[in-house]
Chains A and B, each alone.
Chain A
Amino acid sequence: MRRRFLALSLLLLPFSACHDAIPDNSTPNALLPTVALADRAAFVEKNSHMAFLLDPADKALVPRMVSVGKAPIAAVKRNATNQLLVLSSGTRGSAKDALVPAQLQTIDADATVPSAVYPLASSFDGLAQSADGGFAVLYHAAAAQDSTNTALFNPNELALVNLASPPSGNALPNPYPKSIRSFGGVPADVKFSPSFTFAGKPRTLAVVLAQNYVTILDLGNLDRTEITVPLSPDSTSSFMPRQVLFDTANSNDPTTPNVNLYIRADGSNDIFQVTLAIDLGTPAPTPPSNDFHASLSMLAAGTTPSDLALYGTGVDTRLAVVATGSRTLAIIDPRTSSTTSIPISIPATQLVVFKATSPSTPSVTIPEDRALLVDTSSGSNSVLFADLKSIETTGGIALHDYPLGASATSVVPLVDQGIAVIMFGKYTGVSALTVVDLTSRTLSPIGSGGGQAGATMIDTQSPSRVWSLDGSNGISYLNLVARDGQARLATGEVWLDQSIADVLPLGQASSDKHRYLVVDQNDPNSVGNVTFLDADNPDRTTARTAYGFLLTNYLERGNP
């Protein structure tokens, strides 16, 4: 009997591995949104927690792969650098598996620059960074909390990361953990000042926005306490701060160095002015006290302010505020808090400040401060130009009305190129968008034959261009300014092989001297499908596709 069983077992043994085994618990590749670095494209795949960097100058389009932290939740370009920032939430662990801590990681486009990993004490899901890419603030975004994570956490806990310093070897921990004072709110957003010198010392400020208060952090002196500024001291109002402007023109004043912050909040008819000043006459406080003190004042700006902008310098600094509810443009002198309110014909929601000459005053050849006022929410069919230099004295005479072909939904200012692009939220008819020449004050409507069902993206790199998707394989483009061999407002079209999901222009030329457009193509297999198109001379004959790049080397990578 045993011999028979042995013989049967031997006969059946080879068949034991013949059956197909298809596990059904796998998930498709899941990519975070594509990131356009300066000269290459970056993709972060969540399941394998792997970053893929594709250099369009590489003819073979072989991605460089860098492992990132477990459970990546955000990937963005580090501002003003050619680096990728990846925020990972890690895993909580269990009785069986060890905890994997959250982390923030920088990955440079240059493979010779080592990746920096900043371990985090908590699983943050909000990431904000300064304009120069020097600092990052990680916070718990109220709207994005992982509902599956039931562990306790402090929503007012922050991690302040000095991205210019390595993760270790510093006098202070980097990242620097900070739990900020709370008046019942949680961080909703973080705004950064530009880098500036305050009484001769380099500073970068971060302002954490929360319901009814803001918190000011001196990122150059992390060991100092935060400053909490209540916007509604009696807590009877509900103010949600949305916009912060920094006026650092007097930060090195020899007698009273000061910095002004102007804060616009939903629910408030006032603009909050926070003045940070250093008293040079007294000894500097020792840490953790700050070397500056803050004072709050409120500036009347009309009903429901919707946008504000600073212009002028020094004593001529002015704050322009458009108020939707009162249909006014308020010009505020921050030094005296005096306000000049000018009625306007449209409930403007957006303010584009620029310097230019004006066709209405051809004798003035020096560019002066002017503004374009656009209503993007109430359906107005016109825009306003305002001559800011004279508006305080001439009032409405300094306003000039220009008709639009349709109701604007957004405006993209390209002030350095002398234009603004007004979008209408629809891509059919003769008013798909309008290009505004800020100097000549001409409004050029751009039409569409009805096929532009997809997204429209404005490549702000000079000379700028509009890329428009038709919802299938086609991309059309419009030159916003003249370029070599092509006139201003000239159009063109390129057809690719597969339908297009999105386009992203790279910021600078790659090593082959070409600047590329990253075209995300529809990818039903989730294997990675991207085409690189020359952004300056788009032509399908020079385009190249990387299809399936997420599978690169996957047999040798090991299990994620």
Chain B
Amino acid sequence: MTPTKTFTMRATCSGLLILAAALPSARVTAQTEADTTLGWPNVYQPPSPPLLVLPLPAPAPPAVPVWSWEPSRFGALLQVGTDWPRDDAARRLVGKKASGGGGLALQWDALRLERIATFSLDLGWLTAKSTTSQDFSGLREELKTNSISLGLSVRHYLRYWLAPYARVAGGIGWDSVTVGTGTADLHDRRAFSQGSLGGGLFFRSPRLRLGPSVSGPHVGLMAHIEGGYLLGTSSDFALTSASATTASTPIPGSPVSIGKVGHDAPYLRIAVGLAF
């Protein structure tokens, strides 16, 4: 071993020792820098245990944060939404200018490019029910709408807790209409397909580690507020009577077409849930 190599090895070992001794302060420094640059900082650093001379010098477990801004991969959300149908028939059927509903959604962050972009997939179910009465006949009419959509969104974090995003979604739904007074009601159910394009803001909280392990379960809060435009195929309703007769071979009747109900509408969705 040449003197040069020997010096180099000693210098390296000494440097590592010095670096190891300086690690806590270096971590804090990195965290401080991460507040303004890339990376997912921890918000809480527990103090180092006091140096005690113990009879059993077992090494202390490495300190891990309880709260972290590390992103979660999954989300389960409750969502509520409002549509403002553009179609007169739809507005007439729901009896007002807007219809509202609620549902569930699941979200999965499929791809993360640090804080530049996060690509997410979501699966949502939304249900709405409106009951009104016809303005000229007084008949009660009830519209139930269920829709299932699969969405793809991309978001960019401006802050650890805030990310604007754009989302495109598509899915299917079905409308169920009932008209009558409770006896011999007329009804129909129609399926439709829909797609949407929207954007919004994604909010999240730091996540809480639920176990001792860094890779263990954790939970956080997340929320969306999203607006956009929904495009859907029309539902062409043709009502038939459910219980007009008890005859074994009823006299045939004809379905009554009441018109087409369009699903195009601007929408607003708000969702809150847990991130895992």
Contacts and interface: CB of A to CB of B under 8 A. Distances in A.
Q: Does B associate with A?
A: yes
Interface string B119-144: 00000000011111111111110000
A407 interface: no
Nearest to B223: A11
B226 to A, nearest CB: 11
B204 to A, nearest CB: 16
B132 to A, nearest CB: 6
Given A543-B251, A552-B257, A525 B92 contact: no
Contacts of B268: 13-14
Contacts of B256: 546-549, 551-552
Q: Is the interface of B mostly helix, strand, loop or mixed?
A: strand
Given A28-B137, A547-B241, A556-B89, A16 B98 contact: yes
Nearest to A528: B256
Interface string B260-276: 11000000111000000
B93 interface: yes
Given A26-B133, A47-B136, A555 B100 contact: no
A48 interface: yes
Interface string A34-58: 0000000000000110000000000
B92 A555 contact: yes
B113 to A, nearest CB: 29
B254 A527 contact: no
A498 B183 contact: no
Q: Is the interface of A mostly helix, strand, loop or mixed?
A: loop
A110 interface: no
Nearest to B177: A555
Nearest to B97: A17
Residue of A18, A550, A558 with most chain B CB atoms under a 10 A cut-off: A18
Interface residues of B, number: 57
A12 B259 CA distance: 32
A224 interface: no
B258 interface: yes
B114 interface: no
B80 to A, nearest CB: 4
A100 B50 CA distance: 94
A430 B82 CA distance: 69
Contacts of A11: 270
B178 to A, nearest CB: 11
Interface residues of A, number: 51
B79 to A, nearest CB: 9
Nearest to B270: A14
A548 B259 CA distance: 13
A527 B259 contact: no
B225 interface: yes
B139 A62 contact: no
A13 B82 contact: yes
Contacts of B96: 17, 21
Contact of A527 (B97, B129, B180, B251): B180
A26 B270 contact: no
Contacts of B98: 16-17
A10 B223 CA distance: 12
A552 B270 contact: no
Nearest to A556: B259
Contacts of A527: 137, 139, 179-180, 186
Nearest to A24: B133
Contacts of B239: 548, 551
Contacts of B136: 26-27, 29, 47-48, 554, 559-560
Interface in B184-240: 184-186, 225, 237, 239
Contacts of B254: 59-62, 544-546
B140 A22 contact: yes
A21 B186 CA distance: 20
A20 interface: yes
A163 to B, nearest CB: 30
A20 B251 contact: no
Contacts of A540: 251
Contacts of A17: 82, 96-100
B135 A551 contact: no
A366 B92 CA distance: 70
B95 A21 contact: yes
B81 interface: yes
Nearest to A526: B137
Given A47-B137, A553-B257, A524 B100 contact: no
Contacts of B128: 18
Nearest to B245: A497
Given A28-B137, A525-B184, A556-B259, A14 B179 contact: no
A88 to B, nearest CB: 16
A554 B258 contact: yes
A5 interface: no
Contacts of A526: 137, 139
Given A14-B80, A497-B251, A544-B251, A553 B135 contact: no
Contacts of B132: 20-23
B140 A544 contact: no
B62 interface: no
B244 interface: yes
Contact of B253 (A20, A26, A29, A545): A545
Nearest to A545: B253
Nearest to B93: A555
Contacts of B129: 20
B170 interface: no
A62 B100 contact: no
A134 B89 CA distance: 42
B217 to A, nearest CB: 28
A24 B133 CA distance: 8
16 contacts: A18-B100, A20-B129, A21-B132, A22-B131, A23-B133, A26-B138, A28-B139, A47-B136, A60-B254, A61-B254, A540-B251, A544-B253, A547-B256, A551-B179, A555-B260, A556-B88
Given A23-B132, A547-B184, A555-B259, 11 more contacts: A21-B96, A540-B251, A544-B252, A544-B253, A544-B254, A545-B254, A547-B186, A552-B258, A555-B88, A555-B261, A560-B135
Pick the 8 closest A-B CB pairs, nearest first. A555-B259, A26-B138, A497-B245, A18-B100, A17-B98, A555-B89, A556-B259, A17-B100
Interface of B: 80-82, 88-89, 92-93, 95-102, 128-140, 179-181, 183-186, 225, 237, 239, 241, 244-247, 250-254, 256-261, 268-270
